[in-house]
Amino acid sequence: MDNEVLKALRERRSIRRYKPEQITDEELQAVLEAGTWAPTGMGRQDPWIVAVQRPELVARLDAMNAAVWGREHPFYGAPTIVLVFGSDPAEWANSTADGSLVLGNMMLAAHAVGLGSCWINREREMFATPEGKALMRELGLPDGLVGIGALALGYPASFPPTVKPRKPDYYRIIK
C-alpha cells in the first residue's frame, strides 16, 4: 500500500545543514498550520507554537540551547526556529505528548513543501532558566508553560547520505 503521506513518512529526514536564505511566509504558514491540526488530549489544543525569524533572536536561542547542550550551533544554522511550549506536565499530563505530535506534524509538513527540519531538544531546560522565563514573557506567552521542543527549519544545504534500515523486529502483530 502506498500514497503521498506514506511516501513522505519514509522520505523525511532530519536536516543538519541549512542554506542562509529565509523561507517564504507561505511555507512557514503551511508548516505552522499543520502543527495546529495535530491531535491533542481531549481536544484541549494545549501547545503554543512560536516561530522565530528575527536573526538576533535566532542567535540568542542558539546560544541558550548551546549553553545547555555544551556544543555550538545546535540549530545548525537554520534561519527559522519554531518553538513549541505546553502546560507544565504536573498540570496537564498530556503536555509533552501533545507538543510532540505538533512537532511531528510540522516536520512532515516541512518535508511536503520542500523544507528541511530537525527536531531540537533541550527547550525544557532552556526555558526553565531565569533568562528563558524572561524570554517567554517577551514572547507574550502565559505563565506556567514549559518548553517541549523546537524545530530548526529552512532550505536544506545537504541531505543525509544514507538511511538506517529499520530494525527487523520494530513492530509485532498479535491476532
pLDDT mean for each 10 residues of the chain (175 residues): 92 96 98 98 98 98 97 97 97 98 98 98 97 98 97 95 90 96
Domain presence at residue 171 = no
Q: What confidence score (pLDDT) does residue 94 get?
A: 98
Domain presence at residue 42 = yes
Map 122-156 to HEC letters.
CHHHHCCCHHHHHHHHHCCCCCCEEEEEEEEEECE
Domain presence at residue 175 = no
Domain presence at residue 162 = no
Q: What confidence score (pLDDT) does residue 61 get?
A: 98
Domain interval for residue 63:
24-154
d(CA 22, CA 8): 23
Domain count, the chain: 1
d(CA 53, CA 51): 7
Domain presence at residue 85 = yes
pTM summary value: 0.96
Q: What confidence score (pLDDT) does residue 162 get?
A: 84
Q: What confidence score (pLDDT) does residue 17 get?
A: 97
Domain presence at residue 57 = yes
Q: What confidence score (pLDDT) does residue 20 get?
A: 97
Q: Could you identify the residue written with the cell 532552556?
A: 126
Q: What confidence score (pLDDT) does residue 161 get?
A: 81
For position 117, which CATH number holds? 3.40.109.10
